[in-house]
Amino acid sequence: MPSQQSRAITDLGTLKALAHPLRMQLYRGLCVARTATASQLAEQVGEAVSLVSYHLRKLAEHGLVEQADPQSADGRERWWQPASDGVSIRDENFRDAPERAAAHLAATRLFHEQRADMYRRYLDERPTWGPEWNSAAPDNESLLRLTPAELGELGEELIALAKKYEERGRAAEAAGDTEARENVALHVYGFPFRV
């Protein structure tokens, strides 16, 4: 996968391209696999290869994914990879017009619904993961009194900490340390609320 930084999405076309349920699944699948063919991704998401290929091309049109170097001798296979090291979508880039704000809200809801589905699937499959994984998986809630600046600082620190562990895991895996290593989703939300 490219060693670029996370790509900031600021235009409505790219946001809408990513905010399609299947495209987001494909993008997430590529981020996990690092490289994959349309056939491999189609098997993961349970869709036709032709449909997956179409949506990969749409993601590529917006610079979200790109062709990867071939991973096999079969020259007919087209390999794909994320075009950056993740994406960031910030509210402040979509506040300037009602249609942009509405599209950002719809996309955010989709992303959160898909994340909640991932967590529900883990809960349903929890017995199959065993005690080590279930004990290690954090599930907590913190209710804090913060200013917007403090919440922003906390968010940046949490992102930096997650990035540190991601880099550590990828380096260990590249060195051959793959035993007991699994994909792990870490979803962090911080938001103001009133009681």
Q: Which stretches does DSSP call E strand in 31-98?
A: 36-37, 65-67, 79-82, 87-89
> To which residue do tokens 């506040």 refer?
95
How much of the chain exceeds pLDDT 70, in percent?
98
Residue 162 has pLDDT above 50, yes or no: yes
Backbone angles phi, psi at 70, to 5 degrees: -55, 140
Strands 79-82 and 36-37: antiparallel
What is the pTM for the complete model shown? 0.87
Amino acid sitting at position 183: N
pLDDT, position 4: 53
Residue 2 has pLDDT above 50, yes or no: no
pLDDT, position 15: 97
